[in-house]
Amino acid sequence: MDILEELTGIFKEVMENDDLVVTRETTAADVEEWDSISHIMLITSIEKHFKLKFSSQEILKWENVGQMVDAIQAKKG
């Protein structure tokens, strides 16, 4: 499974929306359920799922899902 696909699964679970479509271009503005609270749940779930930890600087830099995918990819090596 590629990272975007795995990430989509996490988004669906956290946002409780099985119809959610997530692309590299998706931003928080595109997803109604993506607020500050679900963002925290999202980060926690991502860190747990991929068994890695992000610094706050990294998280703050993300502007869309594509950048999240790249960051995960870079960490996983």
Q: Which residues bind another protein (CB under 8 A)?
A: 13-14, 36-37, 40-41, 43-45, 48, 54-56, 59-60
Vertex 34: Cα angle to 26 and 1 (nearest 5): 55
Rounded to the nearest whole angstrom, what is the least distance from the CB of residue 59 to another protein in the complex? Answer: 7
Rounded to the nearest whole angstrom, what is the least distance from the CB of residue 47 to another protein in the complex? Answer: 9
Nearer to another protein, 25 or 55 (CB): 55
Alpha-helical (H) ranges within 1-77 are 3-15, 36-49, 56-61, 65-76
Closest among 26, 32, 75 to 55, alpha carbons compared: 75
Rounded to the nearest whole angstrom, what is the least distance from the CB of residue 62 to another protein in the complex? Answer: 13
